[in-house]
Amino acid sequence: MRTSTLLTALLLGLGTARAERLELPLDGTWEIEESATTDWVPGQFKHHAPVPGLANLAEPPFADVDLFDSKELIANRIRQHRLPESARVDGAGISRQSRSYFWYRRTFRIRERKQTATLRIGKAQFGTAVWVNGTKVGEYPGCFTASYFDVTDYLHAGADNVLVIRVGAHPGMLPANFPAGTDFEKLKWTPGIYDRVTLWLSDNPTIETVQVAPRIEPREIVVQTKVKNRGREACTTQLTQQVRPWKRKEIVGTAEPLLATLQPGEERMFTQTIALPTAELWSPEHPALYEVATASSGDATTTRFGLREFRCDAKTKRFYLNGKPYYLRGSNITLHRFFEDPECRDLPWNEKWLRKLLVEIPKEMHWNAFRFCIGPAPERWFELADEAGLLIQNEFFVWTGAPSWDAKYSRQYDVPETIRQYGNWMRDLWNHPSVAIWDANNETLEPLFGQKIIPAVRGLDLSNRPWENSYNEPAGLDDPIEYHPYLFQPTASSGQVQFRMADLETRDPKPQVWHHPRNDHAVLINEYGWLWLNRDGSPTLLTEKLYPLLLGPNSTADERFALDAYLLAGLTEYWRASRQYAGVLHFVYLTASYPGVFTSDHWLDVKRLKLEPHFADYVGEAFKPLGVYVNFFQSKLAAGSERAFPIRLVNDADAPVNGTLTLTLETANGKRLARAERKFELEALGDASLDLSLTIPRTSGKCLLKAEAEPAGHRKVGPTVCRRWVSVE
């Protein structure tokens, strides 16, 4: 048996027993088989697949894995006149495969029995059922949250134990009103056990959950511990809590031990406060981590956390991190769409790939935040976000759209089940300092979320994070709202783009949120652009009519890549420079890219994580903490004229910055034609409007207008560059 001790707690005051939780990781290669029936466990398993992973990784492969047309996708195709009205379906959708289930099986051993044994399945879809040694243990319908099974009475010590986990082959295997993922643009739905599987062995009383809520004034944590006596006799326990820096041994905080007696089956919640006067605050710039060691007389565990507070304020329309205004800059990850990408394979569980995706490249792009959009990530993703210093807007997998999109068959959520799963979703993630915003849904008009679901679970989070409720009314007085200004989206009536970048010069930068016209909440832009290109440079389904309008019918892939990056950078600079938004998150950093997809990302090679160079250059500059925006998008400059160019600077850093602002006009090969400069000073988190004038030389041809803000004393940072393409005539 391969076991590891998660924690051996300190010697308790109840004799000489040492509390211990043994953890048996069950990840690795499992047997896998398919069936069309419910409770028939296959007699033979002829395939193998990784756990965590997806069923489309099985060897030898299964036919038609993924093939399912969701009700939302069908409704979207009807709305786009790609399908007739008669194609609408009731229920979850239409399966394009003959199977109903996949069955996973593996064998393991334990050396000794303890009083309790808990099987934890991090995440699996679609619906989970468990058998141990031939006996069915239970079921759980959640697709995005961890499931727990008490397997104490089903295990054998010193002998083989056979574990079988059954998952639905597609969303249609769950009740249509249960959360199983709603996405109008997702083409494939892949089942599998896509998060870690572990077996916990301990004695009574067991530690069921630990929630750590940081406080920064004074510096302390509130620790809420749920303890349960699963035994048949009463037990007396001492509960202890000790805090130490992550990966270090010194103790920096201790709670007074609590003595309690629990009756058989009794579950009790204990709340304690631990002072941490010397602890360092967690932030993206300094992601300091700690862990609290919790022990009862029979069980022990550690919980990692960061000392930080994140809140939103409607009066100032800002986010606050550790008491100070904080601007979010970043992108989106739609992992469940990436699951259907032909290049996905096992990449989401590859540690080297994942570290580059979440740690190295975001720093290069000057991002401090992501929205995990329409589909959750495995817990390892959140652990790395904690360590890298990323703030996550964590979105539950709901996108129902406006009622008119699917008026005949609207999804009526089972409210109690939805509330249960939202609560479990929070429980899984509330100790991660990276989780900054609970996002109830995406582009959804459904009053249930604000009226019943969010109010039912909000109080579970002792950290009181803000909630974002998309197109619905904000559920709380200080909650933010989302804004998706897709300015390049062609109008439905004409198919033409009514917007030009030059319109930004006179456009009111204030939010124009049709679904929430009041201006009394912080606004977060977490989607914008409508400029997607596939990784080969071809337009996606949503942009196939756009690029001929922008570049003509015969543009090359490189011309499209260059224009995409240029326009995205200009929009990013504009939204940031207005200071009307608490955050700007581009859409999208990681998604699927293959013929027929609606959107795409910016990778030339997703396996090696090589970004398209134009995007990395232009958009990387646009997201630097010292932002530069030239409010000029005219395509031509008159030779011999003198022109003043309005420039906006923003400083996202919590420290003043000063330096030199330079404006130049250069030829396509880099020859300087004109130059002007002036000094600038910006307060911490400040902004300024400056003008610089140039005399346009008497020449002609394509040129580059370039503004550079060079901070003084920051050689490693370098200047922030803003560029405009012009022709001198």
What domains lie within the chain, and their CATH numbers?
Answer: 4-19+203-305 (2.60.40.10), 23-202 (2.60.120.260), 310-623 (3.20.20.80), 628-728 (2.60.40.10)
Q: What is the mean pLDDT of the chain?
A: 94
Segment 477-502 mean pLDDT:
90
> pLDDT > 90: what percent of the chain?
88
Range scoring the smallest mean pLDDT among 36-50, 51-65, 166-180, 699-713? 36-50
Cα 288 to Cα 276, 292, 389, 647, 711: the distances in Å are: 13, 14, 9, 37, 27
Place of tokens 């160019």: 645
Higher pLDDT, 513 or 209: 209
pLDDT for 587 beyond 80: yes
pLDDT for 3 beyond 80: no
pLDDT at 406: 64
| Residue 726 parent element (H or E) | strand 720-728
Interstrand relation of 391-395 and 369-372 (parallel, antiparallel or unpaired): parallel
- State pLDDT tens for residues 522-566: 999 999 999 999 999 999 999 999 999 999 999 999 999 999 999
Segment 298-305 mean pLDDT:
97
Range scoring the smallest mean pLDDT among 126-130, 401-405, 433-437, 670-674? 401-405
pTM score, two decimals?
Answer: 0.95
Phi, psi (5° rounding) for residue 679?
-80, 155
Cα 547 to Cα 2, 534, 573: the distances in Å are: 56, 12, 22
Give 352's Cβ-side CA count (13 Å radius): 3
Confidence of residue 607 (pLDDT cuts 50, 70, 90): very high
| DSSP tag of 561 | H
Segment 59-82 mean pLDDT:
93
Distance CA 399, CA 180 (A): 11
Bridge partners of 429, per DSSP, are none
Contact residues for 710 (Cβ-Cβ < 8 A; gap 6+): 659, 660, 661, 662, 718, 719
pLDDT at 528: 97
- State pLDDT tens for residues 624-652: 999 999 999 999 999 999 999 999 999 99
pLDDT at 10: 34
pLDDT for 256 beyond 80: yes
Contact residues for 236 (Cβ-Cβ < 8 A; gap 6+): 14, 259, 260, 261, 262, 297
pLDDT at 407: 58
pLDDT for 478 beyond 60: yes
> pLDDT > 70: what percent of the chain?
96
Segment 92-119 mean pLDDT:
95
Bridge partners of 720, per DSSP, are 709
